[in-house]
Amino acid sequence: MDFCFFIPVIFGCPNKIKQDDDHTPYLCPKCHNPQLVKARSRTWFELCWIPLIPMKKHAIYICGICQFRADQDKL
Ligand SMILES: [Zn+2]
The DSSP bridge pattern shows strands 36-47 and 15-19 to be antiparallel
> What pLDDT digit, counting tens, does each position of 15-71 carry?
899 998 887 889 999 999 999 999 999 999 998 888 999 988 999 999 999 999 999
Rounded distance, CA 15 to CA 56, Å? 9
Tell me whether residue 7 is in a domain.
no
- pTM for the model: 0.68
**Cα-to-centroid distance, 53 and ligand 1 (Å):** 31
Sign of CA dihedral 56, 34, 64, 22: positive
**Cα-to-centroid distance, 9 and ligand 1 (Å):** 37
Tell me whether residue 20 is in a domain.
yes
**Cα-to-centroid distance, 14 and ligand 1 (Å):** 22
Domain hosting 45: range is 12-71
**Cα-to-centroid distance, 69 and ligand 1 (Å):** 9
Tell me whether residue 46 is in a domain.
yes
Total domains in the chain come to: 1
Rounded distance, CA 65 to CA 19, Å? 14
